[in-house]
Amino acid sequence: MFLCNLFGCSGGVCSILKNLQPGEVVTVTGKSGNIIGPAVFTNFNPNTCIVTLEEENSVTPPTTSITKISCKEIESITFIS
């Protein structure tokens, strides 16, 4: 059984991500201070608490990085309009 099934992905950032629509552009700050984004939110798995983000790299040729992070390890989310 997954840890998040025992304790739930609820409250704070996890609750925001549960309701976020795929395709939203966000910048995420992790609890370690690492900044991810701007990135496209693609998925939230409520069974594992894992968020999937796609971030375009600014190298030539352009590439896309896929980042998976637990919602419990995210300190803040900035929405980009």
Number of domains in the chain: 1
pTM: predicted TM-score of the whole model, two decimal places: 0.83
Among 35, 40, 33, 76, which residue's Cα sits nearest to residue 56?
40
Residue 1 has pLDDT above 70, yes or no: no
pLDDT of residue 61: 84
CATH number at residue 54: 2.30.30.100
Tens digits of residue pLDDT in 16-32: 999 999 999 999 999 99
Average pLDDT over residues 46-73: 91
Which residue range(s) make up the domain with 40?
3-79
SS3 call for 4: helix
Q: In this structure, what are the phi and psi dihedrals at residue 55, rounded to the nearest 5 degrees?
A: -125, 125
**Intra-chain end-to-end CA distance of the chain, in Å:** 37
For residue 28 the two structure tokens come to: 């995420």
Instruction: State both tokens at 16.
Output: 């925001």
